[in-house]
A = this chain, B = another copy of it.
Amino acid sequence: MARVVVDVMLKTEILDPQGEAVLGALPRLGVTDVSSVRIGRRVEIEFDENASNVEEQSRVIADKLLANPVIENFTIAVEESVETGAEHA
């Protein structure tokens, strides 16, 4: 089973008010040395066992559906086996 992660971020020239809002709230948490926060989407796609052309199919999905090229960029990463980083509840 292949898992693909597509990260979609707003282009840098597009204002990200959500990121700005988080940035503005950081001092209240005592964090003062952050210069920028940008918020995008992380999409985890799981393909069936025997799916083929996984990367290519993902590119189509990302390009046509997950990202809007007018405002967003994306990156694709294929993870052959399912594996998650350390999780914090």
Contacts and interface: CB of A to CB of B under 8 A. Distances in A.
Copies of this chain, complex-wide, total 2
B46 A31 contact: no
A29 B66 CA distance: 12
10 contacts: A22-B61, A26-B65, A31-B61, A33-B50, A34-B47, A39-B44, A40-B44, A74-B87, A75-B87, A76-B85
Nearest to A67: B88
A60 B29 contact: yes
Given A84-B75, A88-B73, A34 B38 contact: no
A25 interface: yes
Contacts of A74: 87-88
